[in-house]
């Protein structure tokens, strides 16, 4: 699907004002940039453009209560979520409070024992630690009963969260969440760690000099990790966090970041958003999925490289085990789908008593990618199940669960990802209800995955200058898709090969120019291409491949049409 092209005169104006080639200016114009000022803000993100933290509802209440706790040496508990967003948010807030002189500890719940969010056990932990103030990180927006229980025990709660509020807000000292209907904060898509960063900025602004001027910049590596891992739109403030934060990850002096890159084989490489999403984040997540999520916080708070390396190696082992469980769960889910029959339902809802709850989100994501259907997987015993849901563009899975709430014990999340708890006897009815909701909201064409193409591009126009310009548009993700082009009438220049894990490798030729290509996960196309080696059309991203200290242009294939 081609993006709607902007008027040619608009692209020419941008080219003249910015001193860019018409190719580059057309790319920007087609992506909706209207003025040179908008382009500058996007290409040159700056902390100076961050929104005033006190535009967020309850920020004054939150900062005042925290300073009260700091000054009185009250024990403070940071209560985080067990995913990367929650772990980085917990680490950032704990680091800031420690630097402010607070008497602070942290707690990450056990995914299986405690479930998601601020829980009754969390209140018990706060009581045992004689805590007077609990600050949640990436959770708490639906914990109305738990916050009420805490206050009954003389414990104040500050909620920091970014998930969708569902009706009544907790009766907390302060609720920091830009998605509150009464919150005037202009950027609504912050991750949990982004909300915590705003709280840190609020603390800095309310007592100048309390933290070093460099504190926020030094900790943007944590903010980038959590923001990219949580798959929030990479625009607005999130782009600033991700762009600058990725640079901080590359140069970070934190022992935990160094050790994490070491075990992941990224120590000597420039870290990009894909490395965070598919290499670093899964290792941090592994602790919360299979073991103790607090080890992720211990890693990121570590002050000695030896300690950090020990934790990182343990996470690497957890991640290896997690991959095996992923594969087994995926195969079991696919077998269930095969038994359902050849025609896929509008929504995929599957359950098993043998599935580990910690991997359901990952496997649901893979099924969503493969079949382009909203997907919910549930780990259930004879009484109750815990599930994870993932969605496709145009379908808000959290809002859909709201329409299915009569069948659920509880749920929460955001438009692309959500979690739920359900009684075993309700699962069949829930499946039928969710399928009805999907059928009502989506058309048959919505089940077909679509590539958003920036425009045609001949192989002659692929060069290092173009790749360097495209890199300035990064990091890529939801809200800022990687630029994608099409080329027609392309011929084979070398036989297709299958390399590594089902990757397609070959050279293509157009107008006498040959370029190497790689298609990740596209090895199954090698046979059809070889059997009919005529002209093909390709959807691709121009990249630079570095191998054994040699750089060369390479096309990353996203789709191939065999003619």
The enclosing domain of 486 has a CATH number of 2.40.50.460
Which helix (DSSP H) or strand (DSSP E) does residue 103 occupy?
A: strand 103-107
- Residue 324 maps to a domain: no
Same domain, 442 and 485: no
How many angstroms separate the Cα of 210 from the Cα of each of 48, 255, 559?
20, 24, 53
pLDDT at residue 2 in the model = 66
Residue-wise pLDDT for 217-276, tens only, equals 999 999 999 999 998 999 999 999 999 999 999 999 999 999 999 999 998 788 999 999
Number of domains in the chain: 4
- Residue 182 maps to a domain: yes
Same domain, 95 and 162: yes
pLDDT at residue 143 in the model = 93
- Residue 286 maps to a domain: no
Structure tokens belonging to residue 238: 């999130």
Same domain, 521 and 379: no
Structure tokens belonging to residue 308: 């950090």
pLDDT at residue 4 in the model = 74
Same domain, 381 and 481: no
Same domain, 388 and 440: yes
Same domain, 402 and 419: yes
Among candidate residues 447, 468, 502, the one where a domain is terminated: 447
Among candidate residues 213, 245, 269, the one where a domain is terminated: 213
Same domain, 139 and 151: yes
Same domain, 90 and 10: no
Host domain of residue 516: 451-562
- Residue 287 maps to a domain: no
- Residue 529 maps to a domain: yes
Same domain, 421 and 523: no
Same domain, 19 and 83: no
pLDDT at residue 1 in the model = 66
- Residue 297 maps to a domain: no
Same domain, 500 and 416: no
Give 10-residue mean pLDDT values along the chain (563 residues).
77 91 88 90 94 98 98 97 95 97 94 81 95 96 95 97 91 97 97 98 95 94 96 94 96 95 89 92 85 89 97 93 92 94 92 92 92 95 91 92 93 86 95 96 90 89 92 91 92 90 91 93 88 85 84 92 79
The enclosing domain of 407 has a CATH number of 3.10.310.30
Same domain, 414 and 503: no
- Residue 3 maps to a domain: yes
Burial class of residue 561 (count of CB atoms within 10 Å of its CB; 0-12, 13-18, 19+): exposed
Tell me if 386 sits within 8 A of 377, measured CB to CB: no
Q: Give which of 323, 341, 384, 390 is closest to 361, Cα–Cα.
A: 390
Tell me if 273 sits within 8 A of 242, measured CB to CB: yes
d(CA 221, CA 262): 16
The enclosing domain of 90 has a CATH number of 3.90.1640.30
Sequence-separated (6 or more) residues with CB below 8 Å from residue 40: none
Tell me if 517 sits within 8 A of 464, measured CB to CB: no
Among candidate residues 409, 432, 447, the one where a domain is terminated: 447
Structure tokens belonging to residue 185: 């904060």
Q: Give which of 393, 390, 514 is closest to 462, Cα–Cα.
A: 514
pTM for the full predicted model: 0.89
- Residue 238 maps to a domain: no
d(CA 56, CA 182): 10
């Amino acid at each position: 699907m081609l993006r709607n092209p902007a008027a040619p005169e608009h692209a020419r104006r941008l080219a003249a004002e910015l001193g860019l080639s018409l190719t580059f200016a057309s790319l920007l114009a087609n992506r909706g940039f209207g003025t040179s000022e908008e382009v500058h803000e996007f290409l040159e993100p700056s902390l100076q453009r961050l929104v005033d933290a006190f535009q967020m509802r309850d920020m004054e209440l939150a900062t005042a209560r925290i300073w009260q706790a700091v000054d009185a040496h009250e024990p403070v508990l940071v209560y985080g979520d067990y995913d990367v967003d929650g772990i980085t948010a917990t680490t950032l807030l704990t680091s800031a409070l420690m630097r402010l002189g607070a008497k602070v500890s942290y707690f990450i719940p056990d995914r299986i024992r405690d479930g998601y969010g601020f829980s009754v056990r969390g209140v018990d932990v706060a009581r045992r630690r004689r805590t007077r103030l609990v600050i949640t990180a990436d959770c708490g927006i639906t914990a109305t009963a738990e916050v009420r229980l805490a206050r009954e025990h003389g414990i104040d709660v500050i909620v920091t969260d970014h998930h969708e509020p569902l009706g009544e807000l907790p009766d907390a000292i302060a609720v920091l969440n830009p998605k509150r209907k009464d919150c005037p904060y202009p950027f609504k898509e912050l991750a949990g760690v982004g909300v915590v960063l705003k709280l840190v900025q609020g603390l800095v602004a309310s007592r100048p000099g309390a933290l070093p001027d460099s504190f926020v910049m030094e900790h943007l590596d944590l903010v980038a990790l959590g923001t990219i891992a949580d798959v929030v739109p990479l625009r607005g403030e999130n782009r600033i966090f991700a762009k600058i934060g990725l640079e901080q990850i590359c140069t970070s002096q934190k022992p935990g970041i160094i050790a994490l890159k070491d075990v992941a084989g990224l120590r000597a490489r420039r870290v990009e958003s894909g490395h965070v999403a598919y290499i670093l984040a899964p290792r941090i997540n592994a602790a919360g999925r299979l073991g103790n999520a607090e080890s992720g916080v211990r890693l990121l708070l570590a002050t000695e490289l030896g300690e950090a390396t020990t934790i990182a190696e343990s996470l690497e082992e957890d991640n290896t085990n997690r991959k095996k469980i992923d594969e087994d769960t995926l195969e079991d889910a696919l077998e269930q789908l095969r038994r359902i029959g050849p025609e896929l339902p509008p929504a995929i809802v599957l359950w098993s008593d043998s599935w580990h709850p910690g991997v359901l989100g990952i496997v649901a994501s893979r099924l969503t990618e493969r079949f382009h259907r909203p997907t919910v997987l549930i780990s259930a015993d004879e009484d109750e199940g815990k599930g994870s849901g993932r969605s496709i563009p145009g379908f808000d899975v959290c809002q859909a669960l709201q329409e299915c709430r009569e069948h659920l014990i509880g749920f929460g999340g955001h438009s692309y990802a959500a979690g739920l708890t359900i009684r075993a006897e309700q699962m069949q009815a829930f499946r039928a209800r969710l399928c009805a909701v999907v059928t009502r909201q989506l058309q048959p064409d919505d089940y077909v995955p679509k590539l958003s193409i920036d425009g045609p591009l001949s192989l002659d126009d692929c060069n290092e200058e173009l790749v360097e310009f495209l890199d300035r548009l990064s990091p890529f993700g939801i809200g800022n898709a990687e630029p994608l082009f099409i080329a027609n009438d392309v011929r084979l220049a070398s036989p297709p090969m299958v390399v590594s894990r089902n990757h397609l490798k070959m050279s293509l030729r157009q107008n006498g120019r040959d370029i190497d290509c790689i298609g990740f996960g596209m090895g199954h196309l090698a046979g059809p291409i070889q059997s009919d080696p005529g002209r093909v059309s390709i959807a691709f991203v121009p990249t630079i491949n570095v191998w054994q200290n040699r750089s060369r242009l390479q096309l990353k294939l996203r789709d191939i049409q065999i003619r």
